[in-house]
Amino acid sequence: MKKHITNSIASIPFIVTFLGLSLSSYSQERKHEFSFVLGGVSSFMQYDLPAGQLTPGNGFSAGIRYSYYLNEGLSLGIGAEYQLYKSAVSFESVSGQYTTTDIEDESFEFKYRATDLREEQKIAYINIPIAIQFETPGTTKLYLAAGAKIGFAASGSYEAKIGNLTTTGYYPQYNIELPTPAFAGFASADNVKENKQDLDTKISYSATFETGVKQLIGKKSALYLGAYFDYGLNNIYDKKDQNIIQYNNEILPVKLQYNTVLNAANTNKMTLVSYGLKLRFAIR
């Protein structure tokens, strides 16, 4: 993720400089348009977990855009925007088991069962949209834009709440399953809240569509109000070989590690989706 952040930050000064130079010349030529953009409200990560229920979240975008007019009805645009995405996934029950060792290096089978589990995920991207726009003549115009976006991950996190977490240790060499002691990592606990952890994602490539009304305000400005739809084309998350509840045998008392459900074996690819309304104030 650090590489993605560095790339996105490094690209911003170039884009801002490019847009600034374009703005300074708009008064001499009417081929340049500079705009401030706000968008929302539905913005989330789309993936499929057969055993869980995905709840799309609300997000927003804010950015700047430069357009070069080939003629009065056709323009090419590029910009930079900050976009926030949110999702949550819920499970009635999640369970698992695997062989590990305790602090005395004794082999055993760790078993866990989490009920009423809810994980919330939030990621932010710096997107670079490139689009072509067609608009009708007149003071009140209809417009249609289509293009693509490349997005660089700026931040990401997840946190979880578990209604009940029950863990046990089965020692086949003694044919015994231990529900306690808690200091060894075996217990039943209610209302477990897991701390926020980082969520690393990759570069995103999306198709983008937008349509609406452009209202001219005087000779040099305009207001856009439209609907948009962005659809991610690639998987942005690489699953890791981690158990949802990870046993830690390094210290006592044992501290169990919670890992995102996105690492579950039956999780399909994660893509970015955003749609809603978009407002632009433009100077030309």
What confidence tens digit (pLDDT) does each residue in 173-216 have? Answer: 999 999 999 999 999 999 999 999 999 999 999 999 999 999 99
What confidence tens digit (pLDDT) does each residue in 212-231 have? Answer: 999 999 889 999 999 999 99
Taking the C-alpha atoms of residue 33 and residue 223, their distance in angstroms, rounded to an integer, is 12
H-helix or E-strand containing 235?
none
Taking the C-alpha atoms of residue 241 and residue 266, their distance in angstroms, rounded to an integer, is 13
Q: So what's the pLDDT on residue 17?
A: 55
Q: What dihedral angle (degrees, nearest 10) is formed by the CA atoms of 232, 235, 239, 245?
A: 20
Q: So what's the pLDDT on residue 235?
A: 95
Q: So what's the pLDDT on residue 176?
A: 96
Taking the C-alpha atoms of residue 42 and residue 51, their distance in angstroms, rounded to an integer, is 24
Owning domain of residue 197: 2-283
Q: So what's the pLDDT on residue 238?
A: 92
Residue 2 has pLDDT above 70, yes or no: no
Q: So what's the pLDDT on residue 12?
A: 54
Contacts of 131 (CB under 8 A, 6+ apart): 76, 77, 145, 146, 147, 148, 208, 210
Taking the C-alpha atoms of residue 51 and residue 117, their distance in angstroms, rounded to an integer, is 12
Using DSSP, state whether 180 is helix, strand or coil.
Answer: coil
Average pLDDT value for the chain: 90
Which residues on adjacent β-strands are paired with residue 160? 119, 194
Q: So what's the pLDDT on residue 21?
A: 52
Q: So what's the pLDDT on residue 28?
A: 47
Residue 5 has pLDDT above 70, yes or no: no
Share of the chain above pLDDT 90, in %: 79
What is the residue-wise DSSP string for 152-174? Answer: EEEEEEEEEEEEEEEEEEEETTT
Is the peptide bond prior to 172 cis by the omega test (within 30 degrees of 0)? no
What token pair was written down for 174?
Answer: 């003694």
Taking the C-alpha atoms of residue 20 and residue 18, their distance in angstroms, rounded to an integer, is 5
Tell me how many domains the chain contains.
Answer: 1
pLDDT range class, residue 13, cuts 50, 70, 90: low
- Do the Cβ atoms of 162 and 192 come closer than 8 Å? yes
Q: So what's the pLDDT on residue 241?
A: 83
Q: So what's the pLDDT on residue 251?
A: 87
Helical spans, DSSP H, in the chain: 2-24
- Do the Cβ atoms of 100 and 144 come closer than 8 Å? no
Residue 14 has pLDDT above 70, yes or no: no
Residue 70 is part of a domain; what is its CATH number? 2.40.160.20
What confidence tens digit (pLDDT) does each residue in 136-170 have? Answer: 999 999 999 999 999 999 999 999 999 999 999 99
Q: What dihedral angle (degrees, nearest 10) is formed by the CA atoms of 225, 17, 123, 268?
A: 90
What confidence tens digit (pLDDT) does each residue in 17-66 have? Answer: 555 554 444 444 679 999 999 998 899 999 988 778 999 999 999 999 99
Taking the C-alpha atoms of residue 27 and residue 219, their distance in angstroms, rounded to an integer, is 11
